[in-house]
Amino acid sequence: MEAPSRFLEDYIFELDVLRRFAKHVETGAPIPEELVRRLQAARDFGRGVQAEQMAVQGRQSLRLHDGDPARDAREVARDVAERESRLTPLDGTNWPNNWEHMGSEGYAASYYTYQWSDVIASDIRSGFANGLMDTKRAREYRDLVLAPAGNVPAADAVKSFLGRPYNSTAFKERLARSG
């Protein structure tokens, strides 16, 4: 569900994209490549912890939607986090009662799909060997993945674009690069 938008989030961190508009306000000099690398590093910092927390939240969402709805959601979330997270939940917060995705029809017990969207988005990104400004490849992505919308199963659309079923290799490589 989120893979196209997660994939498109990469564009703003692509040097070729930024060089089209990101200019120094006084000199007009294009954004320096080193600055873009630092922006990418800042984006990627803690990506592994973020992935772990999304997995924990996926488990929390499943537990919150499985069983007695009268349970205290904070206790359910704390139980999952204490078992499965390296981070200690903060006392006195209203988590997960204020977790917007839990009241959303699109996610609710399916929050774990957000992580799958990141996996698929990373794999789609790997299909742009010549960069995100590769016009031919961008058109293929548009025509094979976006244009069919819900008329083609998402996995089939991604397979058409990549020439193979999606996998988690690119996602794992991205996590490894983020330190």
Tens of pLDDT along 23-67? 999 999 999 999 999 999 999 998 889 999 999 999 998 888 887
Confidence of residue 179 (pLDDT cuts 50, 70, 90): low
pLDDT at 126: 96
pLDDT at 99: 83
Confidence of residue 164 (pLDDT cuts 50, 70, 90): very high
Q: Report cis status (omega within 30 of 0) of the bond before 96.
A: yes
User: From its phi and psi, is residue 163 left (phi > 0), alpha (psi between -120 and 50) or beta?
Assistant: left
Name the residue among 112, 47, 51 with its Cα closest to residue 85.
51
pLDDT at 92: 85
In angstroms, the Cα distances linking 70 to 66, 74, 94, 125 are: 11, 12, 16, 42
pLDDT at 142: 97
The whole-angstrom separation of Cα 11 and Cα 41 is: 15
Give φ, ψ of 122 to 5 degrees.
Answer: -65, -40
Length of the chain: 179
Residue 30, strand partner residues: 23
Name the residue among 150, 154, 127 with its Cα closest to residue 139.
127
39 or 89, which is more confident: 39
Per-domain residue ranges for the chain? 1-45+112-179, 47-110
User: Residue 162 CA to chain centroid, in angstroms?
Assistant: 18
pLDDT at 130: 94
Tens of pLDDT along 117-158? 999 999 999 999 999 999 999 999 999 999 998 899 999 999
Q: Check pLDDT > 90 for residue 10.
A: no
Tens of pLDDT along 103-113? 777 777 788 88
pLDDT at 65: 86
The whole-angstrom separation of Cα 2 and Cα 48 is: 19
